[in-house]
Amino acid sequence: MTPWGRPELYTAYKQDMALLNTRSKMLGVAAILVVAALMPLMVADDLLIILGNGLVLAIGALGLNLVTGYAGQVSLGHAFFVGVGAYTAAVMAGDPDGRYLGLGIDFMPAWLLGAGLVAAACGALVAPLATRLRGLYLAVVTLGLVFIGQYFFFEWNEMSGGSQVGREAAKPELLGIEFTVDNGFKGGWTEEQKLYWLFLAILVVAAVAARNIARSRIGRAFAAIRDRDVAAGVMGVNLTRYKVIAFTLSSFYAGVAGSLMFSAFGHFTPESFSLLMSVQFIAIVLIGGVATVSGTIMGAMLIALLPRLASELPAFLPFLSDSATEHPNIFEFEQVAYGVLIVAFLLFEPRGLFGVWHRVRTYWKSFPFSY
Amino acid sequence: MTQFLGAVAGGVGLGSIYALLALGFVIIYKSMRVISFAQPAFMLAGAVLVSYLSPSIGFVPAVVVGAIAIAGVALVVERVAIRPMVGKAVFVIAIITIGIDIIVRVVAGAFIGRDPRQVGDPWGIDAWEVGGVYIAHRHIAAFLVTSVLVIALFAFFRWTPIGLAMRASALDQEAAMAQGVSVGAVFAVSWALAGGLAAVAGVFAASGRTMDQNLWHIALAALPVIILGGLDSLGGAVLGGLLIGVAQQVVASYHREWFPGLDTNIGSITPYLVMLVVLLVRPYGLFGTKEVERV
């Protein structure tokens, strides 16, 4: 049994390496999990759908955090991999006799993994290019990837449904439970509740996997590459190999997130996978906390709630309009808020929301002494 | 042949816009080793500002005032958001510029409004016909103005004290500081120059069409240009800009013949495709300094 201990007080190497290294953390995580699992019983459906979206964003952002946060390779191309995942899932689950390409594989784990694997394959294809480039060259190339990828999504009409038309997203269905069917009126669970639980379950698996990757040999290699790639290479870390691994893992997460991202809405168009989506994921990682799993989830929740917060604002700030044709409106406010949050966090709290939590924790750890 | 020449003429006009933007990227890169993703926002803001100014004070004064005003905005941004981060990882600064880009771009975009706005340029869509080839006035104007600005810039770097200071600090910041160069002033001047150039580029990008929110995509296509030319080469930025501009227009013009199966014009992604090919062959661009670092 792990001792109660204090944060960052480790009495054994095994404890230092453990997933939940103090008892307080163990209890804290358990409490958060319980609250998260009970959330659908306490919260209205319209808020639940936003929280569910936040959970999916968190899955994708965990992937970006692996490549950008842990391995230090700036990728602006995350939206492309999310798109690959979304289309793979839609094609695999799609109706074979329908208007668009479909294979008719209804079994959810199949298309979930398929989406991840195809996206991972794309990531592995791009990675060799990425390993030749460093720093900002890489950022620009991955930015190009978004545009080239979006061109293919626009162009391949049989698969994507084409620009501004789009196609149906894959419908999650497992063991006879149809997650997108609303049973609320006959006493069952509503669509939002079921989807939320599904997303939560997948996020927990993804987060534990990401945490385990980060504290394993691969994660240590990532950190070494991030901190100084030349030094890492001198110490025997195979740079090419680990950069390819980083991109592949990150794309896998992006693909899984993409396959789930539109299941609540049921329909998506190629326009979704633009540079703005990539920036959104970058914002999540930076606002949440670079190279932290808990921070990523916090950041994703904040970004997912941002539109809702913005829509509440006109009540307090009368000059903001909630109509898109008037300026300034809440949609512009939301965009500006992304920018302001990114800049403000990088300037004042580079460790993100995780850093804020860290400060709170440190304050109480040494209470009543402020040092 | 006329089709080809027409495409080349259009490409030179587009390439001039890319060259102006790319020069801004390169100037900032040389002084801070950072790619400023805020250039697209400055470009859009410049075009919007000129569209407001030109009806009252005329087009040419509006462009001058607009460029100076955007240079001022860039100065403020540099002082408030970038200067505190000097010395931090370049990736962090680059991401900050993305944040700034979003803020400035959305604020500028809000001023576009519902009614169609124009920058009030005198050229519109007029064109000369030379042997069956249509050459738009605005493309000629863009090329001429770019040429003048490029010559002025090179003279500025060659013969003025601050230009010398900028070249010195691009080579080695600490050595430049030891010689009495104010590196802070160099940062400020480079951001102001980049902002002003982006504003001028924005005016030409918006001429001959009505303004829309997607104008900034043109500035993103200038990123492949600097990769092609080499991140730290001013000449490479100009040449790369023209090359990419011509390539894009030629591909766009021959799209129907070369790629009959593709509906969407492939011209829009040509800069990125060219960039990928070049990077596979020469990872530091055509004229960039090769970093000697072996692992």
Is A332 near chain B, with CB under 8 Å?
A: yes
Selected residue with higher pLDDT from A331 and A246: A246
Closest-CA residue to A92 (of A115, A75, A72): A115
**Amino acid B123: pLDDT:** 74
* Range A297-319 average pLDDT: 81
- pLDDT beyond 80 at A329: no
Distance, in Å, from the CA atom of A65 to the CA atom of A207, rounded to the nearest integer, reads 11
For residue B128, give the H/E element and its range: strand B127-130
* Range A310-315 average pLDDT: 76
Question: CB distance B283–A129 less than 8 Å?
Answer: no
Distances in whole angstroms, Cα of residue A221 to Cα of each of A125, A231, A239: 21, 11, 9
Question: CB distance A139–B283 less than 8 Å?
Answer: no
Is there a contact between A240 and A229 (Cβ–Cβ < 8 Å)? no
Of A9-13, A66-70, A202-206, least confident by mean pLDDT is A9-13
Distances in whole angstroms, Cα of residue B234 to Cα of each of A139, B15, B150, B156: 21, 14, 9, 13
Residues 156-215 on B with a CB inside 8 Å of A are none
Token pair 């100009």 is at which residue? B238
pLDDT tens for B71-109 read: 999 999 999 888 888 877 777 888 888 888 888 888 888
DSSP 3-state assignment of B29? helix
Provide the token pair at B27: 């100037």
- In a mutagenesis test of the B interface, which of A138, A140, A239 is the best target, namely the one with the most B β-carbons within 10 Å? A140
- pLDDT beyond 60 at A2: no
Closest-CA residue to A27 (of A53, A45, A46, A1): A1
Strand partners, A167: A268
Distance, in Å, from the CA atom of B127 to the CA atom of B136, rounded to the nearest integer, reads 4
Taking each helix axis from N to C end, the angle separating B90-110 and A275-288, rounded to the nearest 10 degrees, works out to 120
Share above pLDDT 70 across residues of chain B, in percent, rounded to a whole number: 96
Token pair 């990114």 is at which residue? A342
pLDDT tens for A118-173 read: 999 998 888 877 777 766 778 888 888 888 888 888 888 777 777 777 777 777 77
Residues 6 or more apart whose CB falls under 8 angstroms from that of B180 comprise none
Token pair 């969407």 is at which residue? B264
Share above pLDDT 70 across residues of chain A, in percent, rounded to a whole number: 91
- pLDDT beyond 60 at B142: yes
**Amino acid B295: pLDDT:** 47
**Amino acid A253: pLDDT:** 93
Distance, in Å, from the CA atom of B50 to the CA atom of B80, rounded to the nearest integer, reads 25
Average pLDDT across chain B, whole number: 84
Residues 110-149 on B with a CB inside 8 Å of A are 110-111, 113-114
Distance, in Å, from the CA atom of B249 to the CA atom of B10, rounded to the nearest integer, reads 7
Distance, in Å, from the CA atom of B284 to the CA atom of B228, rounded to the nearest integer, reads 8
Selected residue with higher pLDDT from A172 and A356: A356
Provide the token pair at B10: 């259009």
Is there a contact between A226 and A43 (Cβ–Cβ < 8 Å)? no
**Amino acid B293: pLDDT:** 56
**Amino acid B67: pLDDT:** 92
Closest-CA residue to A61 (of A320, A358, A298): A298
Q: What is the DSSP letter of A186?
A: G
- pLDDT beyond 70 at B33: yes
Number of H helices, E strands in chain B: 12, 2
Question: CB distance A229–B283 less than 8 Å?
Answer: no
DSSP 3-state assignment of A184? helix
**Amino acid A306: pLDDT:** 83
> Considering only alpha carbons, which residue of chain B is nearest residue A333?
B106
Is there a contact between B99 and A350 (Cβ–Cβ < 8 Å)? no
Distance, in Å, from the CA atom of A269 to the CA atom of A275, rounded to the nearest integer, reads 14
**Amino acid A155: pLDDT:** 80
Considering the entire predicted model, what is its pTM?
0.87
**Amino acid A64: pLDDT:** 92
pLDDT tens for B265-291 read: 777 788 888 888 887 777 777 777 776
* Range B195-217 average pLDDT: 84
Is B64 near chain A, with CB under 8 Å?
A: no
Distance, in Å, from the CA atom of A336 to the CA atom of A306, rounded to the nearest integer, reads 11
Is B224 near chain A, with CB under 8 Å?
A: yes
Average pLDDT across chain A, whole number: 82
Selected residue with higher pLDDT from A184 and A340: A340
Token pair 């996020």 is at which residue? A203
pLDDT tens for A55-106 read: 999 999 999 999 888 888 888 889 999 999 988 888 888 777 777 777 777 7
pLDDT tens for A210-268 read: 988 988 889 999 999 888 888 888 888 888 888 889 999 999 999 999 988 887 777 88
